[in-house]
Amino acid sequence: MSLSRQLLADNAALWRTWMPHRFTQAVAEGTLPRPAWLRWLAQDYRFVAEGLRFLGALLAKAPPGAVDALAQTLAAWHGELALFREDAGREGADLAAPPAFVTQAYGDFLLSVAYTEPFAVGWAVLFGVECSYNDAWRWAREHAAPDSPYRPWLENWGSDAFGAFVQSLAERLDGLEPQLAPEVRKRMDVRFAQTARFEQLFWEMAWHGDAIAMVP
Ligand code: MP5
């Protein structure tokens, strides 16, 4: 089994929590509560904006063959911010809202990976970030009505074009496998599983808000 498939197989139970999550299911059904939509808009904007730093730090340690792909990804993430601003302006979402706990923690996690882990581990995390969103939004796209108001977002991450981009990330990851030291391979498992966990928690936050249930 290829490295990218192995990582996905090892985290299949977590992956299923957003295929669909209640949030993406409600997106598809057109029943998403407005506060959840506004919260997701503001928090995901923040995630992508902070994610630029992750990509920049990863770019600094990229091998020559990965520089173009990373620079293009950085430009794409940056371009995506305009889509958020457009929708937030129309919908009245507050893009200056403070980060939710998980948004802050996920961004900090990404930066820490970029600075402290070998490049290959950072690439595996990037693959996890993009593949999880592709899978979540592709599910929603396949189940949404043609005139869904969320169409720009369904196309942004759920389209075949985005799927092909994720596939290119997977292929580059698989290409790194023969040179991986066993301890780097192990770090990849750890960081990829953490990425999947952050994705799950991000959907939970988008749906429920930032409240933490107190154990009595
Ligand atoms: C992505 C995202 C995909 N926007 N938000 C989360 C929580 N996970 C993954 O990243 P990008 O930059 O939008 O492709």
- Distance between CA 182 and CA 186 in Å, rounded? 6
Reported as a single tens digit per residue, the pLDDT across 21-34 is 999 999 999 999 99
Per-residue pLDDT, 43? 98
pTM over 0.95: yes
Closest atom of ligand 1 relative to the 77 alpha carbon:
12
Kindly report the CA angle at 130 between 127 and 135, in degrees rounded to 5? 115
Give 5-15 pLDDT, tens digit per residue. 999 999 999 99
Q: Ligand 1: which of 130, 132, 154, 168 to mutate, most ligand atoms within 8 Å of CB?
A: 130
Which DSSP letter does residue 31 get? -
What's the Cα-to-Cα distance from 204 to each of 11, 16, 182, rounded to whole Å?
A: 17, 13, 34
- Which amino acid appears at position 11 of this protein? N
**Is there an atom of ligand 1 within 6 Å of 123 CB?**
no
Pocket test for ligand 1, best of 14, 157, 205 (most atoms within 8 A of CB): 157
CA distances from residue 92 to 51, 88, 202 in whole angstroms, order as listed: 23, 5, 21
* Run of H or E including 7: helix 3-10
What confidence tens digit (pLDDT) does each residue in 91-134 have? 999 999 999 999 999 999 999 999 999 999 999 999 999 999 99
**Measured distance CA(18)–CA(200) in Å, rounded:** 7
